[in-house]
Amino acid sequence: MLNLNKYRELTSQYDQFIYESYHVEELDGQLMLNYQYKLVGEFGQPITFNHRISYELKSSRHTLGLDYLKELDSMIFTIGLVEGINYYKTVCPRVFYVNCGRLSESQKQWWQKLYYHGLGEFIYLNGLGDEVSEKNFVRFADDLLKPYDFDLVDLPVSGNLIPIGGGKDSVVTLELLAHLKADNLPFVMSPPQAAFDCIEVAGYEEYLLAKRHFDKELFRLNEEGYLNGHVPFSAILGFIALLGAALTGKQYIPLSNERSANEATVKGETYNHQYSKSYEFEKDFNGYVNEFLIKDIQYFSLLRPLYEVEIAQRFAQYVSYHKVFRSCNRGKKDNSWCGVCSKCLFVHIILAPFMTETALFDIFASDLLNNATLKPILIELLGMTDKKPFECVGTIDEVQWSMKKIVEKYRKAERELPVLVQFFADEFELSEIKELDVDEVANSIPETYRHLLKG
């Protein structure tokens, strides 16, 4: 639904989004971060928001390193900048005013880029593309009388803080790093049940839990028709995980983002649902962190060189996770696969070349490849339209490659093709489906971890 007129109306009422303040509380071994924001304008009543994030180390042996809180103030302040995007997007004023800190000009440009590209899907789906650009979408401003206070933190760190979402990708990362178990700490952020289940299957009893608490005013505005849409979740995860790594003394934050995240969602455009999972953001993030926040913590995707289908092939071997992993966003609340969304169909397609029909049915509880109502989604996944689904799905090439392998698998067994597979076979010449490019892609994997992906 296009909301360009609504955007114009709201930005005429509210000309500033203000990051007002933040404060920290320690409660029974937990850390609570509190953030205050406000929308203001000459023609609109001020709207205030309060946002909270809690950290808790689930362990009988260790506690959070709260002794370093003063040194970590810049990280805490920075989390407020990235979490502000959840409330900023209700109106998208042209000015984001920082009332509780200072930013250099290069920092302001960094945040301007993240807000524009991180809200790329939001901009596209709300019809703002012809109205805004990276240069004019939002300008960051601050109080020039406040001191500029970004001193690089130097803490003793080692080991891995591993973000776990409950999907196949983070399972593969867990297994690749299993030999370092004594130095690993799983990290979950407002997690679904599948994340806890995967941690249990992996044999970890200790993990770091972060919870995000949104202001109810945000949901009220959504119901009233204020602007809404996708935010750069992985960027938010990155900064919250960074503080988590500092609090627990971990050196590496190994993500599970694959090379497919680099592909734009809309053909010929830069709009990318997975922008904050891309290598471009990963590189920008590390640059910002190591220049302004802390020098010894490294954020990288261990799976960056791999396609989704390569991850699926590895995951197929980890049978103990097959009943507990989940990748469906619609089914997060009840820990299920909905069986009718683009994410469910995509995961089914990339697993199908490497798993039996029985094993796939045990996961999805239905035969998605025989569900004719999913054909419009398949058409998008195959690149037959001007955009892919706005979801965390792989490249068009690897969907076509996977479908070709499924056709070959059925024909080799001399079996009738499922409905969606037959559609693909009718529309595409199999001999023209190319093999996946094996050239190495840019990545930030530390030298000592590169060998893990071989074999």
Instruction: Indicate if 332 and 281 belong to the same structural domain.
Output: no
pLDDT band at 194 (very low <50, low <70, confident <90, very high): very high
Q: Which residue segment(s) compose the domain that 395 sits in?
A: 328-432
Evaluate whether residue 67 is within a structural domain.
Answer: yes
DSSP states along 258-317:
-GGGGS-SBTTS---TTGGGSHHHHHHHHHHIIIIIBSS-EEEETTTTS-HHHHHHHHTT
| Confidence band of 147 (pLDDT split at 50, 70, 90) | confident
- Residue 319 in domain: no
Verify that 348 and 249 share a domain, yes or no: no
C-alpha distances in Å from residue 333, one per residue of 119, 183, 193, 217, 356: 24, 31, 8, 22, 28
Looking at the fold, whether 284 and 353 belong to one and the same domain comes out as: no
User: What mean pLDDT do residues 444-449 have?
Assistant: 94
**Same-domain status, 271 and 398:** no
**2 has pLDDT over 70:** no
The string of pLDDT tens digits covering residues 398-408 is 999 999 999 99
pLDDT at 427: 96
Verify that 276 and 343 share a domain, yes or no. Answer: no
Q: What percent of the chain has pLDDT over 90?
A: 85
CA distance 113 to 297: 23
pLDDT above 60 for 1: no
In a domain, 307, yes or no: no
Same domain (yes/no): 18, 63: yes
Region 38-46: mean pLDDT is 92
Residue 250 lies in a domain: yes
pLDDT in tens, 427-437: 999 999 989 98
Residues 228 and 86 in one domain: yes
Question: For residue 455, what pLDDT is reported?
Answer: 62
Is the pLDDT confidence value at 113 over 60? Answer: yes
Pairing of strands 30-41, 44-58: antiparallel
Same domain, 346 and 223: no
- 287 plus 340 within the same structural domain: no
Residue 450 lies in a domain: no
Q: What total number of domains does the chain contain? A: 2
Whether residue 144 sits in one domain with residue 66? yes
The structure's pTM equals: 0.95
Query: 340-380 pLDDT, tens per residue?
Result: 999 999 999 999 999 999 999 999 999 999 999 999 999 99
Burial 40-55, CB ≥16 within 10 A → b, else e: bbeebeebebebebbb
What is the Cα–Cα distance from 311 to 273, expressed in whole angstroms? 20
